[in-house]
Chain A
Amino acid sequence: MLRQLPLLLLVLLALPALAVIETYQFSDPTLEKRYRSLSEELRCPKCQNQNIADSNAPISQDLRKLLYEQLEVGASDDEIRQYMVARYGEFVRYRPSFSGVTVMLWMAPVVLLLLGLVIAVMTMRGRQQTPDGRDVLSEKEQLQLKAMIDKAESDK
């Protein structure tokens, strides 16, 4: 057991490798923060379900380099997004802009939530409208029931 201990420790020390290999030195820590958030928001055109921060496809490396360069020359977040969209289309944004095409995408959660609320309220109201003590039989029903039981008894 003791002989295996160093090996065990090594296994425990092994950390998951991060996908992003290259590192950039930023002149300003705020730029680094913007780099992080933008690279997570921009989608890799080649690998579809990864952002450029996660992907090590060549195109993502290029886009990260570009992002770094643009941040360093002082481009605003919006300018960078526009630059990317002009080349790769709206597809590159994981947070698409609000437009005629994306209106359904943005509004769907709100509309569905409202719809759910309406259904919930209607269902609850419907329940309240049923008279209390419905399981208690009316006088007429009592009589009917008694007649049934009597009949069953006499048929025995």
Chain B
Amino acid sequence: MPARLKLFLPLILFIVLALFLVRGLSLDPKELPSALIDKPFPEFSLPALGRADTLDKATVGGEVALFNVWATWCVSCRVEHPYLTELAKQGVAIYGINYKDDDAAALGWLTELGDPYIASIADREGTLGLDLGVYGAPETYLVDASGLVRYRHVGVVNERVWTTILRPIYNQLKSGEVN
């Protein structure tokens, strides 16, 4: 009997391998979990885009909010911009992190396309981006009222991303805030 079992060994190996490979097909290797999940949003002190004041953790946040990393050189940011404007209209708090950009160009973009942000942090050197672990724009961080990073989405935020991923967490954090 064991000899007959041996005959099935290649088949069993094949099935195990196939299962791993099938699983691999549905994994996106580009989706990196942020190292900051459930950790505090990094400290910073940076100028506000187009304003004279300086922003830091005390002046920004304190509520459930999205922190959207954007730049005028980022093509996908232009794609997601209308949807962010839509979200802002619905009352979602969105802060911008203007990542490694030129202030004048960024302000021009906001006048042209509309400004969904409560405020935009001018991260000209990308220092805040570095502390956040940003590796490309657009990226969107969901931060809770106590300043903890709860989710990071890399890529465009559109209706599908918002309704399937971000909104459930956002609503959950919101309801926690009320209690």
User: Which residues in A have some Cβ–Cβ distance to B below 8 Å?
Assistant: 45-46, 48, 58-59, 62, 66, 85-91
Whole-angstrom distance between the Cβ of B149 and the nearest chain A Cβ: 12
Given contacts A58-B100, A62-B126, contact A88 B133 (CB under 8 A): yes
Are A88 and B35 in touch, CB under 8 angstroms?
Answer: yes
Q: Give the contacting residue for B32; candidates A59, A85, A86, A89; CB below 8 A.
A: A89
**Mask of B10-47 contacts with A, CB within 8 angstroms, 1/0:** 00000000000000000001101111100000000000
Residues of B within 8 A of A46 (CB): 135-136
Looking at the assembled complex, report how far the CB atom of A21 sits from the nearest CB atom of chain B, in whole angstroms: 18
> Which residues of A sit under 8 angstroms from B126, Cβ to Cβ?
62
Let me know if B133 and A87 touch, CB within 8 A: yes
Chain A residue numbers with a CB within 8 Å of B132 are: 87
Shortest Cβ gap from A70 to chain B (Å): 12
CB-nearest residue of chain B to A48: B29
Q: Which of A48, A62, A86 contacts B35 (CB 8 A)?
A: A86
The DSSP consensus for interface residues of chain B is loop
Q: In the complex, A62 Cα to B126 Cα: how many Å?
A: 9
**Residue B161, interface by CB 8 Å:** no
Interface residue from B29, B100, B131 paired with A87 (Cβ < 8 Å): B131
Q: Flag if B130 contacts A91 (CB, 8 Å).
A: no
Q: A-contacting residues of B (Cβ < 8 Å)? A: 29-30, 32-36, 100, 126, 130-133, 135-136
Those 5 A-B pairs whose CB atoms lie nearest each other, nearest first:
A45-B135, A89-B35, A87-B133, A46-B135, A88-B133
Q: With A and B bound together, what is the CA distance between A48 and B31 in angstroms?
A: 11
Specify which of A48, A85, A87 is in contact with B130 (CB 8 Å cutoff).
Answer: A87
When distances are taken between beta carbons in the complex, the residues of chain B under 8 Å from A62 are 126, 130
For the complex, give the distance between the alpha carbons of A105 and B34 in Å: 21
Instruction: Known A58-B100, A62-B126, A66-B130; judge A88-B135 contact (CB<8 A).
Output: yes
Q: List 11 A-B contacts (CB under 8 A).
A: A48-B29, A62-B126, A62-B130, A85-B35, A87-B130, A87-B131, A88-B35, A88-B135, A89-B33, A89-B34, A89-B133
Assembly CA distance A85 to B34 (angstroms): 10
Determine the chain B residues whose CB is within 8 A of the CB of A45 once the complex forms: 32, 133, 135
Contact A59 B135, beta carbon cutoff 8 Å: yes
In the assembled complex, which residues on chain B have CB atoms less than 8 Å from the CB atom of A66? 130
Residues of B within 8 A of A91 (CB): 32
Residue ID in chain B nearest A91 by CB atoms: B32
Q: Give the residues in chain B near A59, CB-CB below 8 Å.
A: 135-136
A64 to chain B, nearest CB (A): 12
A117: shortest Cβ distance to chain B, in Å?
Answer: 19
